[in-house]
A and B are shown apart, each in its own frame.
Chain A
Amino acid sequence: MIVTYNIEHCMRFRYPERARESVMTLYVSPTRDRTQLVREFSIVTDPDGPLFDFVDPFGNTGYFLDYPRAHDVFAVTARSTVEVGPLASTPTRLGHGAWESLRRAVESVELWPMVHPSRFVHWTPALERFTDMREIARGDDPLVSARDLCTRLHQVFEYAPGETRVDSPIDRILETGRGVCQDYAHVMAAILRGWGIPCRYVSGYLGPPEEGVAECESHAWVECWFPGIGWVGFDPTNDTEGDERHVRVAVGRDYADVPPTRGIFRGASGSVLETEVAIERVGSP
């Protein structure tokens, strides 16, 4: 199945006083690869200024802009038309010796960072208590373990916007049991890495299930690497594997590597960011 989406992602920064010398990096362009065909992509900024693209250490395309002049508002709008799919189906299990092959594979420069702690994804005493109490442990098969974990987290946590912030540590959702997709993803990644499964954070969008337009937000989930298969997506917030609804934008060790926007300006602190994401699922011709 191939699904086409029109995505419009607007970010508007409002500054309490005039800001100068804004510098920003953006991760807002859908990944171009075998399963994602990006038909169109554009970024418009207001005020208008030059924009530079770059490829980061994880292979993501990011954008950079600097705006030295004084401004009260800075708006970025990214529009894309992307076709997702067809996706290969994943096997039910990996089979004998999978843990051992994983252990060997993670000794590579590419996978090493995805099995080791990063800023938001690391083993904490709270996570230890959480997994003990819920009896969450790895099973015989890495793929099955990951799939089960995805379901368990979905059951255990309650989706509650506003409970956590973008820079909340995983202990927050572990305490309250409430959080958003990013928290789900960080917890899942922390547990999987603890088990020795390479796991990376995915930043992207979740398209609507039916044709039409949906107002939504950015989305986040994880991808695990398995020998012989490669990266497989798991979305603990929705208890699914990565499917045609998942539009990938960037991957990293955790949120800190690939926030949709990150920047700095000169001026009084306390800027406000308004974000709007509109995704239209286009009917098949």
Chain B
Amino acid sequence: MPQVHAADGGVFGDYDLDPAYYDEMFAADGRPRTACERLNGALAKLDSEDLTRLQDGVYRHFLHEGITFTVLDADTVTEQIIPIDCVPRVVTAADWRRIERGLKQRLAALNLFLKDVYHEGRCLRDKVVPIDLVLGCPQYRMEMRGLKVPHDVYVAVCGTDIVRTHDGFAVLEDNLRVPSGVSYMLACRNAIKDAFPRLYRAHRVREVAEYAERLYSTLASLRPSMQDPHVAILTPGMHNSAYYEHAFLAGEMGVDLVEGQDLVLRDGALHARTTAGLRRVDVLYRRIDDDFLDPVLFRGDSILGAAGLFHAYRAGNLVLANAPGTGVADDKSLYSYVPAIIRYFLDEDPILANVETHLCREPDGLAYTLEHLDELVVKEVGGAGGYGMLVGPHASADERARYAERLRADPANFISQPVLALSRAPCFVGGAIEPRHVDLRPFVLQGRDEQHVVPGGLCRVALRRGSLVVNSSQGGGCKDLWVLED
């Protein structure tokens, strides 16, 4: 296995460069990529103790600020700190430009797609996407049919998972419902800035701190009237795994963080209970699932939302970001049609590639998947968080057999993809720097008139050696992403 030509070995001493994977820091010949030279040089000067100290500092920063996510395990609730790796990942300006353009294109097309499937359904009639796939999707909300969505913005906030292989960047998943992770991106940046103040400045890294401001102006731009809108974030409460993020964003934007119990309908509009009486809410950045929004219309047993909320929305008295029913566009089986959707609605070629996907709802796809179960990653179409998936090559024969049974029982619920050779980036683990698999979740905002991609993102790391699962609930961590200025 080729070793890296790091200045003098040091913490990079045991860094094995596996040619099977694209390495974010080193080129195939073992030399640091141009954009990473400075970072590599700086890290190589540090020893294991320095890095441990920096890593501890980052950890303490998170601990004291209580930057945690909640894990529900059986019936106990524990707060955990998301593991942060102190080695930043560098993305060049040129790479970022491509990602940015690709994300904007993708979101524009998906918003047009959503408008279409909730109105005349041209793309279904023209058989761009199978009608069964869309109208039969559990995330399709009949209630949204024919409803005028303010400025046709169905998805205002989107988090797209992007991976890099030797073939370049590819989109793994769109998150169009309630994407999370942006607060970790911001917290991570603060911690890393503290750890490497000089290095950070020398790199001319693009700032991400403006995110909250951008989010606010995006939400406010969707307001129903010209008046100054009352924007609020709707959270399921402090036991939700992303509560820290909800509170963080509300604080940064200076808006109310409301729970269902704070909301009440009056005169067909949504109001929040304040100490001085009811105050109307104009824009709700809701961080709860569709099902829980309104017990009158959706799940009657839900106490997370507000009774009649959907009426306020339907009547145009309230803006919801994201709109209900956007899940139909980030369903994992719909995913494979996104390139076609981009071509159909924008008449452009997709800038970012998709990952090859087999739909088990189709007989060919099912047969292929069952035949190659040991080579594929199989996912549930509605699944998230890395739960319920099978990583074929890492699973035992027994696990595969059990999974195959589930597949045969309900093929439409599954898709499969080849095991991706996710790129690897240097991480400080157990006293040395070693390569670990990473992905990337940038965040895209769609306001009334403009789109914005935050120059950064949540870079997730599979901290377990050899693991490809980056979800924080499954032993993943994250690291700072440095998008460089031109």
Q: Judge whether B267 and A108 touch: CB under 8 Å.
A: no
Tell me, yes or no, whether B343 is within 8 Å of chain A by CB.
no
Q: Pick the contact of B121: A66, A108, A263 (CB < 8 A).
A: A108
| Residue in B120, B136, B143, B314 whose Cβ sees the most chain A Cβ within 10 Å | B314
**C-alpha spacing A50/B317, complex, angstroms:** 15
**Contacts A25-B311, A68-B265; is A116 near B296 (CB within 8 Å)?**
no
- A66 x B268 contact (CB < 8 A): yes
With an 8 Å Cβ cutoff, the count of chain A residues facing the other chain is: 25
A241 to B: closest C-beta gap in Å: 27
- Shortest CB distance A120–B (Å): 14
Contacts of B135 in A (CB 8 A): 109, 112-113, 116
Of the candidates A21, A54, A109, which one forms a contact with B314 in the assembled complex, judged by CB atoms under 8 Å apart? Answer: A54
- Determine the distance from Cα of A54 to Cα of B131 in the docked complex, in whole angstroms: 27
Does the CB pair A52–B307 fall under 8 Å? no
Q: Quick check: A52 and B296 within 8 Å, CB to CB? A: no
In this assembly, does A57 line the interface, its C-beta being within 8 Å of a C-beta of chain B?
yes
Q: B142 within 8 Å of A by Cβ?
A: yes
- Tell me the smallest distance from the CB of B108 to a CB of chain A, in Å: 22
- How far, in angstroms, from A136 to B235 measured CA to CA in the complex? 51
Least distance between A124 CB and chain B CB atoms (Å): 17
* Residue A87 at the chain B interface, CB threshold 8 Å: no
The total number of A-B Cβ pairs within 8 Å is 71
User: Any chain A CB within 8 A of the CB of B2?
Assistant: no
Q: Are A64 and B268 in contact (CB under 8 A)?
A: yes
A54–B271 CA distance with the chains assembled, in angstroms: 20
Using a CB-CB cutoff of 8 Å, which residues 99-156 of chain A contact chain B? 107-109, 112-113, 116
One digit per residue, 1 when the CB lies within 8 angstroms of any chain A CB and 0 when it does not, for chain B 133-146 equals: 00110000011111
- Kindly identify which residue among A23, A109, A113 contacts B308, using a CB–CB cutoff of 8 Å: A23
Q: Do B265 and A113 touch (CB < 8 A)? A: no
Contact with A along B276-315 (1 / 0, CB 8 A): 0010000000000000000110001000000110010011
Give the contact-size bracket for chain B: 20 to 34
A50 touching B267, Cβ below 8 Å: yes
Please give me the residue from chain A that is nearest to B268 by CB atom: A52
Contact A23:B296 (CB < 8 A) given known A50-B267, A66-B268, A109-B120: yes
Supply 26 A–B pairs (Cβ within 8 Å), ascending by A: A21-B264, A23-B265, A23-B311, A50-B267, A50-B268, A54-B311, A54-B314, A54-B315, A55-B146, A56-B143, A57-B142, A57-B146, A64-B311, A64-B315, A66-B266, A66-B308, A68-B265, A107-B125, A107-B131, A109-B124, A109-B135, A109-B145, A112-B131, A116-B136, A264-B295, A265-B307
11 further A-B contacts with Cβ under 8 Å, apart from A107-B124, A107-B131, A112-B135, are A54-B314, A55-B146, A66-B266, A66-B267, A66-B268, A108-B125, A109-B120, A109-B131, A109-B135, A253-B142, A264-B296
Where the two chains meet, the residues of A that have a C-beta atom closer than 8 Å to any C-beta of B are 21, 23-25, 50, 52, 54-57, 64, 66, 68, 107-109, 112-113, 116, 253, 257, 262-265
Interface residues of B (CB under 8 A from A): 117, 120-121, 124-125, 131, 135-136, 142-147, 264-268, 278, 295-296, 300, 307-308, 311, 314-315
